[in-house]
Structure 1
Amino acid sequence: MEPLDILDRALTPTGLPDSPQLLVGTALALALLLVVPGAVWRLTGIVVTIVHELGHGFAGLLTGRRAVAIRLSPDHSGLTTSHGRAASVPWTTFWGYPAPALIGAALVMSGLAGRGATALLVCAAVLAVSLVFMRGILAWLAVPLTAAVLLGLLGFAPDPWLTSAAVGLGVFLVCGAVRALANLTRLHARGRTHGSDAAILARATRVPGGVWLTLMWLLALACAAGSGWMLWRAVTG
């Protein structure tokens, strides 16, 4: 399919499948399959890390930070560096963990509103643009591969699949955000806090890391609850 055909398709509403129950069931099953099994999560969790680090990166750009550079590690850790005012550090640091949940909820909403194809194209475009910030082999491999999968869906998948893909990706990101936050919370419970986002926020603001963790959890759970409500409404009509 030609690029203009993909663009035209992405801008055309896709609508919901004839069976919303099947859509929701497929999205939930896909998310659980990608998040719960440890062997699968070792691979798919990289996607959540990409969104996490882009959350830092774009939050930094909004506050005027520059020279943004993002590195990814196979253990799902990442590092986003940038230069700018010290006052912008808390804002930039905070938005890593909430980013996957927020983007996930937006994908669920877009898919259920008939704009799943548009949402997938936007995600692919953001990933393509973000390549200028990526450093290291893993980032240079994972980001283009993720964008290519999204473009492949837009080019070859039937319309109902695009809606299912957008909703499924959204649920996956929300669930992945919750799992990542649970891992962070366990580290803090064991006292292994050095270098975590919450610890950096605590040092930068003198507000305890537990407060920042709580705020991150509230945002993630709000996104999860909102996504669940939208899926329930789709099923019950």
Structure 2
Amino acid sequence: MCAVSFDSVGDVFTRIWQAATTPVPAPAQAVVLAMALAALAVVVVTPVWRVARHVITIAHEGAHALVATLTGRRLDAIRLHSDTSGLTISAGRPRGFGMVATTFAGYVGPGLVGLGAARLLREGYAVGLLWLLVALLALLLLKIRNLFGLWSVLVAGVALVLVSWFLSEPVQSAVAYAVTWFLLVGSVRPVLELQTQRFRRKARQSDADQLARLTGLPGLFWVGVFLLVTLGALVLGAWWIVVP
């Protein structure tokens, strides 16, 4: 009985690996552009954005967590909240390169993830991208420390698994393009919202203001850098997706 079980698990992973590492044809240009317009609509229409923004928050906090780990900080916890805010807690030196890099990573994270996704799409790995996102969400889940965060990551992960396992390649490819466009386009609006909140004196503990205290450079400078990086990722990612 155990042998059958292990064989079944092995078959599942073999199927996932084959699907993830096999290039698939890009969808028609009309589909690619339709996914771009759909992503733009989600970002622009505020009631829809308020729900979809949770995906950007997951990428934002995931970027904090990844850079904290890469720079030698100890990652303790990640929390995602229903108001689309989040918190990543890491331990280490309170100043220095690791703290600056970790703080900086959040707002640029979604755009850079979208840029990496765009590159995978250009190489034909749309299905591989979906499975890679599932794997990243699974790793993120290990450090989530609140119920809403668990719910958010699980919903996103299960949705991607269902698409990647049950739907046809053309549909999987379209979803991969939609997710990528949303990460690229959706990374810009939080930066604009951040500056609006700062202007209204409602974001004194924002990443930009923390960077100002860490580096001596004004918070507005860091908001400008966030905007430059996210817009740059959007332009380059769009180029990789649209231009043959």
TM-score, normalization: structure 1? 0.92
> Contact 2:117–2:180 (CA<8 Å) still a contact in 1?
yes
Match of residue 51 from structure 1: 59
Q: What do residues 159-200 of structure 1 show as CA deviations (whole Å, max 9, x unaligned)?
A: 122222222111101111111111001112223331100001
- Mean CA deviation greater in 94-103 or 181-190: 181-190
CA offset digits 1:75-128 (Å, max 9, x no partner): 111111110112221111000000000111221221232101111111100100
Greater CA drift, 31-40 or 83-92: 31-40
* 1:99 matched residue in structure 2: 109
Separation in 1 of the partners of 2:64 and 2:183? 16
CA distance in 1, matches of 2:16, 2:43: 29
Provide the C-alpha distance between the structure 1 equivalents of 2:130 and 2:196, rounded to a whole number of angstroms: 33
Q: 1:71 aligns with which of 67, 71, 79?
A: 79
Structure 1 distance, partners of 2:52, 2:13, is 27
1:13 to 10, 19, 23: 23
CA distance in 1, matches of 2:102, 2:143: 15
2:213 equivalent in structure 1: 203
Distance 2:145 2:49 in 1: 22
Aligned to 2:122: 112
Question: Residue 180 of structure 2 corresponds to which residue in structure 1?
Answer: 170
C-alpha displacement of 1:43: 1.4
Question: Who wins on radius of gyration, i.e. which is larger?
Answer: 2
- What is the CA–CA distance in structure 1 between the aligned matches of 2:68 and 2:240, rounded to whole Å? 31
Q: CA deviation at 1:3?
A: 4.0
Determine the C-alpha separation between the residues in 2 that align with 1:72 and 1:213: 22
Q: Give the CA deviation at 1:215.
A: 1.1
- Pick the aligned partner of 1:25 from 33, 36, 41: 33
- 1:35 corresponds to 2:43: yes
- Report the equivalent of 2:193: 183
Alignment coverage as a number of residue pairs: 232
SS of structure 1 residue aligned to 2:243: helix
In structure 2, how many angstroms separate the alpha carbons of the residues matched to 1:113 and 1:23?
17
Structure 1 segments of 4+ aligned residues over 4 angstroms from their partners: none
- SS of the equivalent of 1:85 reads coil
Q: Distance in 2 between matches of 1:34 and 1:28?
A: 10
Task: Pick from 134, 146, 167 the counterpart of residue 144 of structure 2.
Answer: 134
Contact 2:121 / 2:241 at 8 angstroms: preserved in 1? no
The residue type paired with residue 206 of structure 1 is G
The counterpart of 1:220, out of the listed 205, 230, 235, is 230
Q: Structure 1: which 5+ runs fail to align?
A: none
Task: Compare 130-139 and 106-115 and name the one that shifted more.
Answer: 106-115
- Give the conservation status (yes or no) of the 8 Å contact 1:72–1:136: yes
Name the % identity. Answer: 33
Contact 1:112–1:163 (CA under 8 A) maintained in structure 2: no
Secondary structure of the 2:217 match is coil
Corresponding residue number in structure 1 for 2:7: none
